[in-house]
Chain A
Amino acid sequence: MKVVDLDVTPLRELNQMLHDQHSRVDVAAWRIVNPRGRHGIAAGLDAALTVEIDGHVGYYCAGMNKQATVTIDGSAGTGVAENMMSGRVHVKGDASQSAAATGCGGLLIIDGNASARCGISNRGIDIVVKGSVGHMSAFMAQAGTLVVLGDAGDALGDSIYEARLFVRGNVKTLGADCIEKPLQDIHKQHLRALLDAAGVGGEVDANEFKRFGSARQLYNFKIDNLEAYG
């Protein structure tokens, strides 16, 4: 495992070293110490790396991630895993606003709470938040999944397209065109798979969740295009 101390190594140098692994992986395991809230740590990765970050990170950590597994042993600032394509990002603390914004794929796990706009404009990423999420979460979400073990704030799923939302606790209010839908076996299976992937399948019962999704009244939904909506 290669250890990089951000008190010694400039952040750009670290990110360049990680990006140098894209064409050929020489070092697969990385540990980053003293992040001290810096922005853009481990952003833009595109290789099967494991990156452990020991402490709190700033904005856009692991943004645009492809393939890599990034673990943050602390809390994350705005836009963690934004626009993630694939791979896995695990925040052991809390996440600030717009976590996984516009994410296309992969899995984001947040052990603590996520603040406002979690999973905004989701385009296919799966998000599991073990705590609660703030207001306007899943705003304009188009695909993917948001699983919340705690509560959801105001206007959950406002202007939602076809993303799937599962909340175990209370939802303060639902946003425009977001409605509760029946939790069927197919949804429970999907939910269980995500709970397993987040490491809580054994302790959390999928039956305790409510499912929310689009009423399909607000956007120009065409049943002929259903396949394309995912």
Chain B
Amino acid sequence: MTSTTTAKLAEAFTSNRAEQMPLDVTREFILPPFLPRINLDRDRKSLRIQGGRGCGKTIFIRHLCHPTQLSPQKTDIDSVVLGRIGLYWRSDTAFCGLMKPGWLGDRDADSAFSHYATLVILTEVASFLDALARAPLKDGPIQLHQTNLSVVTAEYFDGRIERFGQIRDFAKVERIRLERWLQNPKLDRPQFLRYEDLLQDIAEDLASHDPRLSDLFFRVFVDEFENLEVNQRRLVCDAVKHAKARYSVNFAMRRHAVNDFETSANEQVVEVHDVRTIDIELLLEQVPEDFKLLASELLLLRLHEKGIRMPTTYFNYSKLSDPAFLEERLSETYRRHVVEFAETVFPGWDGPSIAEKVLQDSALRNRLSQLIRGALKKHPSSGALTEDDFLDHSKPAASVVTGCILHRKRHRPDEVIQWFREYDKGNDANPFKGWIENNLYGALFYLYIGLPQRPNLLYSGFDRLCTLARPNLRVFVELCRAALTQSLDGSAKGDLLSHGLPVISPEAQAEAARSVSESILLEQVPNLGTQGEKLAEIARRLGRLFETAHRRPSQSEPEINHFSIEDAGKVQLNAETLELLREAKVWSVLYEEKDTKNKSDYSIAHTDLVPNPMFSPYFGISYRKKRKLTLDASQVNTIFTGTGSQFESLLRDFNRKWDVGQEDPEHGQLFQ
């Protein structure tokens, strides 16, 4: 593959935000595997679509809206789609900021926002009518522009318009008037409209003009709900709470960004009763295989768009957005084939194979030798044993874990060597079996962490890239782009062709993971919300803490990469820490997960706080959720809000506790 080809392929992954995509996402959207589980056709209840940044909320909504549902790119569209047709609304946040009580007074602020909502919805209805007029519906398009409004509908417009085709201009003129008045409320106030009855009556009116519209039902989607002002969110909640026969109001938001769903009448919007939550992240987390399927299909789709011939008949891009093929896509055979091809593009090595590579790499092998030598020196029972006795190319995994095992006081070198020598004899009682199972990854991370210039092969392979990115498809796309770009750098890394697909070497993947990790941590996180810089600093501090844990020579608790807070002390978390914790969850810097294994008897921590796995390659630490650190409130306060020197002091305490620092004098701290 030439570097020009690779560059073109990398381009396929450069535009990765739904907002940069067209309103009609027929070609971009892949029906998610979780669709049958949420069954959107079940009812017309309001939906709350939630998930972290980049998990695909916007594209999911756009797929449900009229530009996609009535896309000219489709054929023979069943009019059943008109029974749940979406109208998209993303507010101009700063403009909405003018509809605040502080500027307009309580009453006018609310009325102005309702009026604005009405005009946005009317503009969307006008676009829906345009889409309807050119939609490839089964029995042809529905042209209603010249159709007269009913007497009831016309009344809302004060006799200013007579036909459906005039709605757009009406909304446009009113938007200009509203805009002018909001800049200077001393001007004449526009005549305010409310959409509640208006939208209901327009839908009724439309439904009477064509039998295919008889079941017409609008789903109004308010994207980025969290960015609205408090009074505006209440007005949206009013509409959610009081759905009408012909429409419902739905909203999308980042997880944790809003906790209060109160209406203007101080009622709460209640899950199940008023709203159904579709948590895209949760749905993708629950079934990791689904994320892998989506990621594989996305990869193949983007490659297909760049002219790569697909090596299998199983994959056909036109199936991806067609509900008729969803069942087939969810079959085991299809999944296996598609994922297999993604694995061809992103090959990876298993743990023992990476151990083999370690023994072949002089620098990594040297580090392992030093580790073993250091341990032998400490033990009186070492006798004449040397590190070479524990390095055996025929037993790479056992060789790699030996260094850590020997650093544990309870294991005598003269015993360990016996088990090591007999490891390949097939004795099930040989402890190396368990040691490898529990320590191989930890030992490998330990070795790589001391040599940060070496691409860590534990960050390569399709499966691992999915684990790093999950549940964020945008991150996966960034990894694809970076990996293809890395392949550009050197043909030595082996960007070969297999079955017509590009193959990215594990080394290039690992380097890509490191560069994407760095870019997210240092360039993206600091710009998230108003506290981005602080969130990035917290992520850096946590990374350094876990990196220290990974440097423990004994690896007695390998792969510590997340934490929980002692329940008893939680009340001592200061207000700023609590606010930053919330922000960190909103922006997916930290994920809150249910505690699965609480090893401490006295602590009653119920939730784990897991840094975004995508930070791991930057620090060279594990991305697998294996072990956690339980911190007390004061330690958490120090990490979140302490000064630099307070944090350094905390880190030194852990260094001492974990016996880090004496083990490898030639390698200092990596990330200051």
Q: Do A and B interact with each other, yes or no?
A: no
